Amino acid sequence: MKLGQLREDRDLLTGKLSEIVRQLDLAGIAIIWIFRTTATTDTSGATVWSKSLLWPLWFLVLSLGCDLLQYAWQSFYVDKRCRQESKGDRDDDSDVPGHSPYYNWPTRIFFWSKAGFAVIALVMLMCHISQHL
């Protein structure tokens, strides 16, 4: 296998994982919303949320937040590089230096954090659902 093919596979798989995590986050929030409607209300009429639903909700929101931060960081960095590299008389076919080794650290942290938060939330949500079946 060539390194270029390995990188293409990595990009395809990490993109697909991001898409799946995002869909699972939104599905988890929808499930929590459905279970919320069966929650009790207090004397003021406000819905009383179960703590076993609030924790997964927080983790799902954290996962979506990490997803946003990952793409915001990548967009910021690539835009900054484009502006730096286009200052000279370069055209679109010019060779430019590779990314700094520090570029991928925030991306990796946000990527793996969003996946981890989603897994934690979904396990907690499955535990909640199994207790109420």
Query: pLDDT-derived band of residue 1, with 50, 70 and 90 as boundaries?
Result: confident
pLDDT tens sequence across 19-53: 999 999 999 999 998 887 655 666 676 666 777 89
Nearest alpha carbon to residue 50 among 31, 30, 36 = 36
Q: What is the pLDDT of residue 40?
A: 62
Q: Does 94 fall in a domain?
A: no
Give the total number of structural domains in the chain.
Answer: 1
User: Which residue range(s) make up the domain with 8?
Assistant: 3-85+101-131
Strand, coil or helix: what is 118?
Answer: helix
The Cα–Cα gap between 63 and 111 comes to 9
Helices and strands in the chain: count of H runs, count of E runs: 3, 0
Q: Does 7 fall in a domain?
A: yes
Nearest alpha carbon to residue 57 among 37, 30, 22, 39 = 30
Q: Does 127 fall in a domain?
A: yes
pLDDT tens sequence across 54-102: 999 999 999 999 999 999 999 998 888 777 767 766 666 666 677 777 8
For residues 18 and 67, is the Cβ–Cβ distance under 8 A? Answer: yes
Q: Does 91 fall in a domain?
A: no
Q: Does 77 fall in a domain?
A: yes
